[in-house]
Chain A
Amino acid sequence: MNGQNGFLNNKKRVVFNLLPALAATLLLVGYGMWSAIAQSFQSVDGEWTMASYLELFNSLAFFHSLKLTFRVAILSTLLALVIGLVMTRMLYQFFRDSSSKVLVWIPILIPHFVAGYLVYLFFSQSGLFSSLFYQLGVLDHRAEFPVLVQEKFGIGMILTYVWKEVPFVILMLLPVYYEIDHRYSEVVRTLGGNKWDVFRSVELPWLLPVMVETGLILIAFIASAFEIPYLLGVTRPEMLSVRAYEWFYDGDWSKRPLAFSAMILPGVMALLLAIFCIGAVQKHRLRMIKGRNR
């Protein structure tokens, strides 16, 4: 660089443009995280202690919550990914025209707790499906309809998350399907491959990074979201987020360190998982982008 040009040089320009977003993220995540960790190690009087963690690990209720949280997060994510992938694959031609893409956006429009209400409306014991089976004569009484919402396994929550996240997965995967050079599918077919080979060798390499990213986002989100469990969960076991929220607002602040440490564990796990996955996918993604010739 001769530096006399009126342009900012590239390095300065990169820093200058990234700075606002980085600063906001650093403030919210960096500071928020640091403060949360600090408070998890402090008692109400400000003494440094491990007490909250010790209390958690000695609590059976905490492990029940943890188990439920992971079950709901992992099952919902996997189901949403698989159903979303199948639907995208079958419908990407249909969604190519932007007026039909509106259909995918409609379920995205509503907040999660409204989706929770929909599940309640259709699947509760006095819900519409229960009514339907009663009218069909399958049931004699509403109590015969299985308890699907507000029960211990978390079926209602899983249903809600799957319903809400499938359109999200479709929206994430659609651009990938448009990006794939479908002439490669023809290449595979002429080389003697079947449909499965097409999927594995043409589509999957492109899908994989986005699937991993989407899966990470979903798992991290579901494991820590508060809105749905607050609406559809039961008191025992509770999802971790509800547990933490209640501790946080527990009258005398003495449970606050517990609230922090309870959420830090899944947070740290999600972060480690993310770093590992993104690192593994990054190389693969670079190779795909460089190998593309158009």
Chain B
Amino acid sequence: MRFVFNRLGKRELVTSLMVLIFIGLFILPFVVVTVKSFSVGWRFPELLPQAYSLNGWRNIFGDPSLKESIVTTLKVGFYVVLLNLLLSLPAAKVLSTYSFKGKSMIETFLLSPILIPGILLAMGLQFTMIQFGLADQVSGVVLVHLIPTLPYAIRIMRAGYERLGIALGEQASVLGAGPFIRFFTLSLPLLLPSIRSLMLLTFVISLGQYALTAIIGGGNVITLPLLYYPYFSSSNEAVVAGFSILFALLPLLFIGGVEILLRLVIRAVNRV
């Protein structure tokens, strides 16, 4: 970013201003919340905290139910992301490559989970899930988290495959690479930006589900959001702030771990 205002034209000035507005609106609040999580009793009408301490964070990590909940949340998120990848990769590839009768109908149908109220579907599925022993289980929660995530996953991968095109794959196949090798040497590295977006978005959406998790998890599967609501009305504001930051940190942690793994795989298959 350049903040050198002299020698800038009107257009650059407007852009820089807009960037500042964007940062002020969307990034600054995070800084404030981070500061708040380290503050002591920062209340109306103080504009800045009067004292700082680690008490808020100590409280958060001292709560044993929270540790357990982080593990559950990561587990649910991991399976949701994995399932989304497995379902969306083949579907997106076909949708981007072939045109066939009824394609737009299928596309609309695949988008429908985010158009129909998720809470309605979860309520509708609850009884059956109980019958099949999926309710009150991580597996049931993972399944129901597919509702708000799968359409995005398919959409993201589809756009990725469309950008990739089919020519490079054909070139690889005439050079002797089978479908399996083609996926690991071409699709995976070249679709990495899309895969990264998919994993981040589906993880974040899964992380943000309260109602679906509560309905299907039935109080047995305690993910972080289920703890957040009681915390929200608690009096210790530093704890709520710290908890909020935790929600932004978890996806970063997750995506960081997966990224390292993916890069190792790609490095391994693409050596000279």
Contacts and interface: CB of A to CB of B under 8 A. Distances in A.
B147 interface: yes
Given A33-B116, A267-B116, A271-B115, A109 B123 contact: no
Interface string A224-242: 1111001100000000010
A130 B94 contact: no
Interface in B192-232: 200-201, 204, 207-211, 215, 225, 228-229, 232
B109 interface: yes
Q: How large is the interface on B (under 10, 10 to 19, 20 to 34, 35 or more residues)?
A: 35 or more
B200 A105 contact: yes
B112 interface: yes
Contacts of B211: 226-227, 230, 241, 245
A111 B94 CA distance: 32
A163 B29 CA distance: 11
A230 to B, nearest CB: 7
Interface string B225-263: 100110010000000110010011001100000000000
B191 interface: no
Contacts of A278: 104, 108, 111
Q: Chain B contact residues: over half helix, strand or loop, or mixed?
A: helix
Given A110-B247, A111-B204, A263-B123, A29 B113 contact: yes
Given A22-B110, A128-B32, A245-B211, A226 B47 contact: no
B94 A216 contact: no
Interface string A28-39: 110111111101
Interface of A: 10-11, 13-14, 16-18, 20-22, 24-25, 28-29, 31-37, 39, 87, 90-91, 93-94, 100, 103-114, 117-118, 121-122, 126-128, 130-132, 134-135, 142, 163, 166-167, 175, 216-217, 220-221, 223-227, 230-231, 241, 244-245, 248, 259-260, 263-264, 266-267, 270-271, 274-275, 278, 282
Interface of B: 1, 14-15, 18-19, 22-23, 25-27, 29-30, 32-33, 36, 43-47, 86-88, 90-91, 93-95, 98, 100, 104, 106, 108-125, 127-128, 143-144, 146-147, 150, 154, 159, 200-201, 204, 207-211, 215, 225, 228-229, 232, 240-241, 244, 247-248, 251-252
Given A20-B91, A28-B121, A32-B125, 16 more contacts: A28-B146, A34-B124, A90-B15, A91-B18, A103-B23, A106-B27, A106-B248, A111-B204, A121-B33, A130-B44, A227-B210, A227-B211, A245-B119, A260-B123, A260-B124, A270-B115
